[in-house]
Copies of this chain bind each other. A is one copy, B any other.
């Protein structure tokens, strides 16, 4: 986790921008421009809509990355948004990751993979690449713990080998996360607390020079009390905190997830930053695509700076 922590210190900003484009978050003039271009250029009609959307998403992401790369340490593309487009979306995802890395950003691939043994080892190529070539351009990935350590160990090995990291789901930000994660166990704890102990244990041989292991945890901003308790319970586990902004989390609600040095966590905001342009009165659907992207960029930068400043105040 050292590279991420260094990047956070360097920017003095423990926040990450979620690159989760949808056809509502990318301005209509940008979507439309690529729809026209695709129709002119693509030979067959197969997946015309997906190809056009993927091209629009990439330009949107690039505008945001260019706007924030010098004030945020990391980005977190959510691969589901890209998978929605099929293979064209996957190309856009890896291009986005590669471009973000080229701008010096630490890339957290929010892929939530989880499988067993040889299958988990195959997924771990997200971190190690294939036969010497990087194929995903991610510095860390998110992982689901439901299958136990068989699903985690191959990622831990890959992380060590490639100097990369992982974040394991412990307590997610959504309402129904309680259905399984909060179940009370016979020994008195909750399922997510048991998972927390497993994560702390899985990471123990990979603790870096800031005291945090390569096995991070996903802990939703919407659970401030549990988050603060988990901070105590998992002293060597760095937190990725989703749920800020649109989902209801605030700088105050996440403050308890940081350690006494103001480190130990990175907070994600997606819609609050990449969709900030939607509150800009200068926007209209009749803008040129370039002007729309300019508004996206200006508003994303302002929102990212605002989030950084709010976190600085809350952690001061």
Interface residues of A (CB under 8 A from B): 20, 22, 46-50, 53, 78, 80-81, 83-91, 94, 112-120, 122-123, 125-126, 129-133, 135-136, 144-151, 169, 172-181, 183-188, 191, 194-195, 198
Nearest-CB residue, chain B, relative to A132: B49
Number of copies: 2
Best-buried of A87, A145, A191 by chain B (most CB within 10 Å): A87
In the complex the two chains form, is A122's CB within 8 Å of B194's CB? no
Chain B residues with CB under 8 Å of A135's CB are 47, 50, 85-89
- Shortest Cβ distance from A95 into B: residue: B87
6 closest A-B pairs by CB: A86-B135, A148-B176, A148-B179, A116-B174, A84-B125, A49-B131
Check if A116 sits within 8 Å of B148, measured CB to CB.
no
Which residues of chain B have C-beta atoms less than 8 A from A195's C-beta?
Answer: 180
Cβ-defined contact, B87 with A50, below 8 A? no
User: Across the two chains, which residue of chain B brings its CB closest to A88?
Assistant: B135
B116:A173 contact, CB within 8 angstroms: yes
List B contacts of A89 (CB < 8 A). Answer: 135
Residue from B83, B116, B151, B172 within 8 A of A147 (CB atoms): B172
A47 pairs with B84, CB closer than 8 A: no
Give chain B residues whose Cβ lies under 8 Å from the Cβ of A116.
172-174, 176-177
Complex partner residue of A122 from B80, B144, B169, CB under 8 angstroms: B80
A125 contact set on B, CB distance < 8 A: 83-86
Q: Tell whether, in the assembled complex, residue B130 and residue A80 are in contact, meaning their CB atoms are under 8 Å apart.
A: no
- Cα(A98)–Cα(B229), bound, Å: 48
Give the contacting residue for A80; candidates B113, B169, B194; CB below 8 A.
Answer: B113
Identify the closest chain B residue to A111 (Cβ).
B83
In the assembled complex, 26 residue pairs joining A and B whose CB atoms fall closer than 8 Å, in A order, are: A22-B122, A47-B133, A50-B131, A50-B133, A78-B115, A78-B119, A78-B122, A80-B113, A83-B122, A83-B126, A85-B135, A86-B125, A90-B90, A112-B113, A116-B174, A117-B174, A144-B146, A146-B169, A147-B177, A147-B180, A148-B178, A148-B179, A180-B194, A180-B198, A183-B185, A184-B185
Task: State the Cβ distance, A162 to closest chain B Cβ, in Å.
Answer: 14
By a CB distance below 8 angstroms, the chain B residues around A133 are 46-50, 86
A73 to chain B, nearest CB (A): 23
**Which residues of chain B are near A112, meaning CB under 8 Å?**
113-115, 144
The distance in angstroms between the C-alpha atoms of A21 and B91, with both chains bound, is: 22
* Min distance, Cβ A191 to any Cβ of chain B, angstroms: 6
Residue in chain B with minimal CB distance to A83: B123
**In the bound complex, CA of A47 to CA of B174 (Å):** 38
Given contacts A144-B146, A146-B181, A177-B148, contact A120 B90 (CB under 8 A): no
